[in-house]
């Protein structure tokens, strides 16, 4: 490759000085020497000709000497807008940039110059998306585990280890996604997820806190929305699931209740975790892009219900 590139640089010198008939001969000669197709030879020489300082160029290394349009000042303004809107996704930030920027400058919350303001307003959705990705990485909230092990009923609720053998709809993995921001203390909204293993039918129900009766009420809501009978559930060992209320409810309604080994959920149910985790990521992604990564309390529950449940991710397809 390097030898062909060096040959191309020497051929280009002759090619640029040659007349039309001579150029034809040079192209044929270069094609036979390198094994390139004639069109490839033309593209190679043309690309080399468009390269600045082509005599010093190296094969495989292409550097575009293009100035950076959106500098650190632009990114600083975008970061202020991102924080003002609660860390929502770039696709939702883009139509609001003009309004937030004008209000921020007017009331002194955002300080910038006219050129930077013009650049921010001219930014495309794709460029903003890439910039917000960097901003989000700098302001990322460290993940917090809100699962607290339940110490009761460990002997009554059997362990489920290995691949699910049930092929009929109705056996679901359940788990909670916490929307607590960077503080796991106090009351906050959680999303109760239910993923049917056979059909991959997914339901999500926001609940306030992780109290036993609220998780049970959320499961009842999910059960009523399912297009098939809930026949069994499998959970982790969190106290929101391992308790007398949920155990009694399953026993009364003839629902099979199993649990994974402590800290071995992925090992015990690898196949179904791949499905369930993908839906949890959808909840987290929707929360990040639509609602932001802030903490949600009672007042935001209705809004969260609309954002998460109206476009529910129902999937009736075969398991891969």
End-to-end CA distance of the chain: 42
Neighbours of 291 (CB within 10 A): 21
**Cross-sheet strand order for the sheet of 232-235:** 202-208, 189-196, 171-178, 232-235, 256-259
Distance of CA 319 to the CA centre of its chain: 22
Report CA torsion sign: 284, 289, 293, 298. negative
What SS3 class is residue 234?
strand
In tens, the pLDDT along 22-55 reads: 888 888 888 888 888 888 888 888 877 776 665 6
Nearest to 177 by CA among 247, 256, 278, 261: 278
Report the pLDDT averaged over residues 135-140: 86
The fold adopted by the segment(s) 171-309 is: Nucleotidyltransferase; domain 5 (3.30.420)
Band of residue 188 on the pLDDT scale cut at 50, 70, 90: confident
Site of tokens 């197709």: 37
Q: Are strands 232-235 and 189-196 parallel, antiparallel or unpaired?
A: unpaired
In the predicted model, is pLDDT for residue 74 greater than 90? Answer: yes
Return the axis-axis angle of helices 2-17 and 20-34, rounded to nearest 10°.
170
H/E element, 195:
strand 189-196
In the predicted model, is pLDDT for residue 306 greater than 70? Answer: no
Exposed, middle or buried by CB within 10 Å (0-12, 13-18, 19+), for 311? exposed
The whole-angstrom separation of Cα 95 and Cα 106 is 19
- pLDDT for the residue 315: 42
The whole-angstrom separation of Cα 51 and Cα 44 is 11
Band of residue 320 on the pLDDT scale cut at 50, 70, 90: very low
| R_g of the chain, CA atoms, integer Å | 30
In the predicted model, is pLDDT for residue 109 greater than 60? Answer: yes
Structure tokens at 293: 């990564």
Is there a contact between 87 and 139 (Cβ–Cβ < 8 Å)? yes
Structure tokens at 138: 């700098």
Report the pLDDT averaged over residues 106-133: 92
Mean pLDDT of the chain: 78
246 Cβ partners below 8 Å, 6+ apart? 212, 215, 216, 219, 257
- pLDDT for the residue 319: 41
Q: Per the confidence metrics, is the pTM higher than 0.75?
A: no
Among 44-53, 157-166, 224-233, 263-272, where is mean pLDDT lowest?
263-272
């Amino acid at each position: 490759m390097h030898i062909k590139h060096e040959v191309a640089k020497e051929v280009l010198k002759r090619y640029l000085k040659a007349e039309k008939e001579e150029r034809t001969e040079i192209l044929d000669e270069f094609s036979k020497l390198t094994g390139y197709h004639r069109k490839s030879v033309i593209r190679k020489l043309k690309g080399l000709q468009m390269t600045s300082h082509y005599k010093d160029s190296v094969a495989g290394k292409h550097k575009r000497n293009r100035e950076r349009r959106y500098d650190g000042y632009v990114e600083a303004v975008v970061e202020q807008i991102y924080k003002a809107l609660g860390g929502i996704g770039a696709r939702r930030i883009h139509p609001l940039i003009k309004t937030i920027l004008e209000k921020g400058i007017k009331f002194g919350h955002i300080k910038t110059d006219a050129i930077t303001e013009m650049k921010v307003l001219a930014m495309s959705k794709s460029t903003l998306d890439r910039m917000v990705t960097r901003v989000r990485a700098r302001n990322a909230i460290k993940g917090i585990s809100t699962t607290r092990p339940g110490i009761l009923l460990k002997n009554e609720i059997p362990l489920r280890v290995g691949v699910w053998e049930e092929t009929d709809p109705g056996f679901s993995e359940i788990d909670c996604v916490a929307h607590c921001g960077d503080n796991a203390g106090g009351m906050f909204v959680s999303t109760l997820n239910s993923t049917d293993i056979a059909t991959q039918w997914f339901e999500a129900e926001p609940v306030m806190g992780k109290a036993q009766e609220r998780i049970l009420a959320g499961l009842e809501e999910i059960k009523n929305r399912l297009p098939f009978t809930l026949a069994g559930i499998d959970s982790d060992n969190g106290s929101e699931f391992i308790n007398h209320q949920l155990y009694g409810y399953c026993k009364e309604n003839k629902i099979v209740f199993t649990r994974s080994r402590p800290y071995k959920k992925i090992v015990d149910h690898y196949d179904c975790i791949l499905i369930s985790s993908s839906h949890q990521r959808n909840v987290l992604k929707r929360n990040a892009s639509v609602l932001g990564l802030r903490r949600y309390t009672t007042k935001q529950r209705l809004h969260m219900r609309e954002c998460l449940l109206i476009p529910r991710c129902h999937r009736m397809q075969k398991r891969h």
